Structure 1
Amino acid sequence: MGFRQALSTGFLGWGRSLGLLARHTRYRSCRGRGFQSWWGVGDRFPLLDASMRQLKTMGWMNFRMRAMCATFLTINCGISWHHGAKHYMNYLVDGDLAIDNWQWQMQSGVTNPLSDTFRIYNPNKNIPEKDPDLKFIYYWVSELKGYSLPEIIQGKYIGTSSYPPTILDWAKTRKVNGKIISDLRKKVRERLTLQGGTEYESAVAAKETVNKYWQHKDRQYKEFKELEAELE
């Protein structure tokens, strides 16, 4: 409870960094069409579309899909995380202001500014990794039933089904908008390093926390693979 209460108020303190992203004109260029497609009609990336349909129907989707839909909206579409976070909270049955909003900031590249990297999920690459038998996509995007995994990934359904093409070029927007975010993160990193003080100390602590988290996850994965090998 203490963790949730701290985050419920603590995440508001990142406003200065968030403002850089929210005010950037190029970074808001496709806001109208992109946001409406993302939450309403569909973004036309099958796995993303299936996830958003599940959210609207069930009020839930798994963590990876939440993160993937978040990076698509904020980085590829260039829309502020605030809009996506509000939409999630309107539908999620397990919505939590502290955790969800913090996750949205992280997926949009706002948090942990001292890190040189941030993640951008590829919606097509995740299909063979997370839905190799296409059961999830077939269930939620019935328009694509009958198409094989390679056909869906390659967009062979375009023009031969009722399912329309994607609303944007994922690789291009990743390159262009990803650079915008990377440059902004660099500016924040330089400012924090130059000024020092409590804000810099907080950023250092955040980076250390993230590093410890991934070290722990790596250990868990290695232990799982070792156990899996023993059971074979």
Structure 2
Amino acid sequence: MVAFNGIPHLIAPVVVDSDKAIKALRWLNHEMDSRYRQFAQASARNIEGYNKDKPPGEGIPYLVLVVDELADLMMTAFDEVEHTLCRLAQLARATGIHIIVATQRPSVDVVTGLIKANFPTRLSFAVTSQVDSRTILDMVGAEKLLGRGDMLYMPTEASKPKRLQGTFVSDAEIERLVYFWGNQQKTGMRVLNFDDVAEMAPLGQKVAPLPDPLLEEAKQLAHEHKHISTSFLQRRLRIGYPRAARLMEALG
């Protein structure tokens, strides 16, 4: 996919390093959470409602994540990739973030039950066995496809897949398209370099809480009074019991 690096639509260069791809997934997960916070402040339900009254160019852009080979990512960090992709699939649509995931190895250790349950729209080209067909579509049939773009497409609302024919796009055509797009007006979208993105905690990993702003004041009270208690901190600092208990725990 590096051939698409010249197009102006990218928010980051095409990622080919597995470790950097994990960082990109973490960033996208945090971006989704950030958008939900913006929606809450604006009392908007989704990206359409948030962008409705924004001047052109000032709304939140739509983002599409394309994973060209899921198997490689799953070998790098199985649990984190599975959880992050599933969380994005469940929640990201309303924030304007969409996901396309592809793999050449549709085995159950790559396309897990959890991933499959969260990606109801599926597409299969020719596969080698009925097992692979069931892994993707939950039914046989893809093993009988003819290849060369012959595919079965299973939309969310359908009870059985539709047979479609994909088109062939040569490398020369891709180069011409990239050249054409590259000479168009720039989108003005920020460009990320995931090497420069600060380390973000993996999904599900607990992050150490920030120190309580009243901790220094609590230390001063502990220094002035030999014996202090949770209720004492409540009265002197005018805070609730849970926060006072956390301060007592921090004081040791």
Q: TM-score, normalised by structure 1?
A: 0.27
Structure whose residues are more often helix by fraction: 1
Q: Decide which structure has the larger Cα Rg and report it.
A: 2
Q: Return the structure number with greater relative CO, CA threshold 8 A, min gap 6.
A: 1
Structure whose residues are more often strand by fraction: 2
Q: TM-score, normalised by structure 2?
A: 0.25
